[in-house]
């Protein structure tokens, strides 16, 4: 009887201890989340035909298997696409004509609405990369589980369309990320792909002229450049054959991300 009374007396104390531990665990978790530094990928072009300056520690990128440059004297073409507006076919024609392979970073909406075009991209030897299912600001996600789900949901959709596994290349939407997320991507088998050359080509209703685009792309190209273009750009569709020929005349060859 005495032992039973002692256990009853101890019960409130145990309950208090459990509650305290739960609260401490919760706030420690929130502390980890809120101290994750959000990075915005940016480039500073300072010299013609020279790799731009980035404000991220290159060693940190290497540890996370994140890339913005490839091998010397090679160019790596990549295209981001959140939707289709009729320009991808022309881009594919130019790539095929010049025997150049690229990587198309696609989202869930694109795969759902353009399964036949996705199959064509794959059939012509191009890589399809993971641009997440919803193209949300990934840096705002609060957990590894949420982050990985964005990647895995796209993988599943891609597999259902192509009957093959998606290549493990990840590009953060809008270039927003945390270093912790790059590690999560690495643990999931992904290489994170940034870029060292881009220009304002994504404003569908405010496209640059062909002359403006070619001038910028010629001046900004550099050894090992990972080039980010948007396949929604009418200008890109119009200049693709010409700019590839220009870059070849400058002595560049074209590589693919699986060489990294």
Catalytic positions:
80, 230
Distances in Å between the alpha carbon of 123 and those of 99, 101, 247? 14, 11, 25
Burial of 196 (0-12, 13-18, 19+ CB in 10 A): buried
Three-state SS for 64?
coil
> Please, which residues have CB within 8 angstroms of residue 85's CB and are 6 or more apart in sequence?
204, 232
Q: Write down the number of H helices and E strands in the chain.
A: 9, 10
Match 């530094």 to its residue by tokens: 37
Q: C-alpha dihedral over 232, 260, 71, 95, to 10 degrees?
A: -30
Nearest to 80 by CA among 195, 184, 167: 195
User: What is the Cβ-side half-sphere exposure of residue 76, based on CA atoms within 13 angstroms?
Assistant: 22
């Amino acid at each position: 009887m005495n032992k039973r009374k002692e256990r009853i007396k101890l019960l409130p104390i145990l309950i208090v201890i459990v509650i305290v531990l739960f609260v401490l665990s919760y706030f420690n978790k929130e502390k980890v989340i809120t101290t994750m530094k959000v990075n915005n990928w940016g480039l500073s072009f300072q010299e013609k035909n020279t790799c731009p300056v980035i404000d991220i520690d290159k060693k940190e990128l290497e540890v996370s298997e994140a890339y913005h440059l490839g091998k010397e004297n090679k160019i790596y073409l990549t295209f981001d696409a959140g939707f289709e507006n009729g320009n991808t076919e022309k881009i594919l024609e130019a790539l095929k004509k010049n025997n150049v392979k690229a990587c198309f970073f696609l989202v869930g909406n694109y795969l759902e609405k353009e399964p036949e075009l996705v199959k064509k991209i794959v059939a012509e030897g191009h890589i399809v990369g993971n641009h997440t299912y919803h193209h949300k600001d990934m840096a705002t996600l609060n957990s590894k589980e949420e982050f990985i789900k964005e990647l895995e949901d796209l993988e599943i959709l891609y597999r259902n369309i192509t009957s093959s596994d998606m290549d493990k290349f990840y590009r953060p939407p809008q270039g927003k990320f945390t270093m912790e997320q790059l590690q999560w991507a690495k643990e999931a088998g992904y290489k994170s792909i940034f870029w060292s050359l881009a220009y304002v080509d994504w404003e569908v209703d405010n496209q640059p002229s062909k002359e403006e685009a070619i001038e910028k792309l010629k001046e900004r190209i550099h050894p090992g450049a990972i080039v980010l273009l948007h396949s929604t750009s009418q200008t890109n569709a119009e200049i693709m054959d010409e700019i590839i020929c220009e870059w070849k005349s400058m002595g560049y060859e074209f590589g693919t991300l699986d060489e990294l």
